[in-house]
């Protein structure tokens, strides 16, 4: 396959940045999108140019590091991560636009790499349980109903990639935050800090400069893990409940 790849190039956080077009040949449709970028970078290095910086780690759709907006869609045209997207989703001769996540809370570090530490701070505000668990407990010590376990697991699937923020026209982190809030609210281990958790996580989300939800649904469409839109409704319910309930 032969492609024109237009990539956002930005030397560092302060530099202005612009889209740059590259012609690239010899792309196989079995390559992943990141392998296509690797191929591009080989050419760039060989011709003495600065390679395109992009985040990646596991390359198997579980770490959440890869973060590319491809032709305007976070993670590209398929419901998966950019590392699990294959070049067969594109046609020979296509022009492909690759941009970084865009949100005030995710400043660009270089090229396609953004700083997502705002997500870490939301998690630090309450996305954990404080019980000292030691080694893995005996599996039957705390009984969890099947529905609750399934519900928790559905939300625990969030890999913190930030595609929801990138896709949202308001740069809102509601889907990400709701995933953790719903995950822990469904489990007995999460119960002691249930109210404090949602209040602190939402306050941190606001303080980090993410926007609000206007129910466009773009986040849930972009999410590679299928965190559903009603999870945001459930978080709103948790938040209102926490305001009324005991505040520890």
Partner 1 sequence: MVLATRTRTGRTARTHGRPQARPPSVARLFWRSTLGKKTVMAASGLIMLAYLTAHVMGNLKVFFGPEEFNAYGHWLREMGAPVLHREWGLWLVRILLLAAVAAHAVSACQLSRRDIRARPTAYAHKRPRASYATRTMRWGGFILGLFIVWHLLDLTTLTVNENAQPGRPYENVVATFSTWYGNVIYITAMLALGLHIRHGFHSAAQTLGVGGAARDRALRAAADLLALALTAGFIAVPVAVLTGVVS
Contact residues for ligand FES (CB under 6 A)? 56-59, 61-66, 81, 83
90 binds, among ligand FES, ligand SF4, partner 1, none (CB under 5 to 8 A by kind): none
- Nearer to ligand HEM by C-beta: 82 or 232? 232
- Which tokens is 49 given? 């140019």
Residue 113 binds to ligand SF4 (criterion: CB under 6 A):
no
**Residue 50 binding partner per list ligand FES, ligand HEM, partner 1, none, with a CB distance cut-off of 5 to 8 Å that depends on partner kind:** none
159 interface partner picked from ligand SF4, ligand HEM, partner 1, none, CB below 5 to 8 A per type: ligand SF4
> What's the min distance (Å) between Cβ of 172 and partner 1?
7
Contact between 74 and 176 (Cβ < 8 Å): no
Kindly indicate which of the ranges 32-40, 94-102, 157-165, 235-243 contains the residues binding ligand SF4, using the contact rule CB under 6 A: 157-165
Give the Cα separation of 30 and 168 in Å (integer).
30
Distance CA 127, CA 199 (A): 11
Report the distance separating Cα 7 and Cα 18, nearest Å: 8
115-152 burial string, b = 16+ CB within 10 Å, else e? ebebbeebeebbbebeeeeeeeeeeeeeebeeeeeebb
> Cβ(69)–Cβ(101) under 8 Å?
yes
Phi, psi of 236, deg, nearest 5 = -60, -40
Is residue 240 at the binding interface for ligand HEM, with CB under 6 A as the rule? no
**Is 159 a residue that touches ligand SF4 (CB under 6 A)?**
yes
Q: What is the distance between the alpha carbons of residues 170 and 210, in angstroms, rounded to a whole number?
A: 8
> Minimum Å distance from CB 21 to ligand FES?
25
Q: Is 184 in the site for ligand SF4 (CB under 6 A)?
A: no
Residue 79 near partner 1 by CB under 8 A: no
DSSP state, 108? Answer: E
- Check binding of 214 to partner 1 (CB under 8 A): yes
């Amino acid at each position: 396959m032969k492609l024109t790849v237009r990539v956002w190039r930005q030397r560092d956080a302060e530099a202005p940045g612009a889209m740059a077009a590259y012609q690239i040949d010899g792309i196989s449709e079995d390559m992943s999108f990141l392998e296509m970028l690797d191929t591009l970078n080989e050419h760039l290095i060989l011709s003495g140019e600065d390679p395109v910086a992009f985040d990646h780690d596991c390359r198997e759709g579980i770490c959440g590091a890869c973060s590319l907006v491809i032709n305007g869609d976070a993670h590209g045209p398929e419901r998966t991560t950019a590392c699990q997207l294959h070049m067969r989703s594109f046609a020979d001769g296509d022009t492909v636009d690759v941009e970084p996540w865009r949100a005030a809370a995710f400043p660009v570090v270089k090229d396609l790499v953004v700083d997502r530490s705002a997500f870490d701070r939301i998690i630090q505000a309450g996305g954990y349980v404080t019980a000292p668990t030691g080694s893995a407990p005996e599996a039957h010590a705390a009984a969890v109903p099947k529905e609750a376990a399934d519900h928790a697991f559905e939300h625990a699937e969030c890999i913190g990639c930030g595609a929801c923020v990138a896709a949202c026209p308001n740069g809102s982190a509601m889907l990400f935050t709701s995933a953790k809030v719903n995950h822990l609210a469904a489990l007995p281990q999460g119960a002691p800090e249930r109210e404090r958790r949602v209040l602190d996580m939402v306050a941190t989300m606001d303080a980090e400069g993410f926007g609000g939800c206007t129910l466009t649904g773009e986040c849930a469409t972009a999410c590679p893990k299928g965190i559903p839109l009603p999870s945001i409704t459930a978080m709103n319910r948790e938040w209102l409940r926490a305001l009324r309930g005991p505040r520890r």
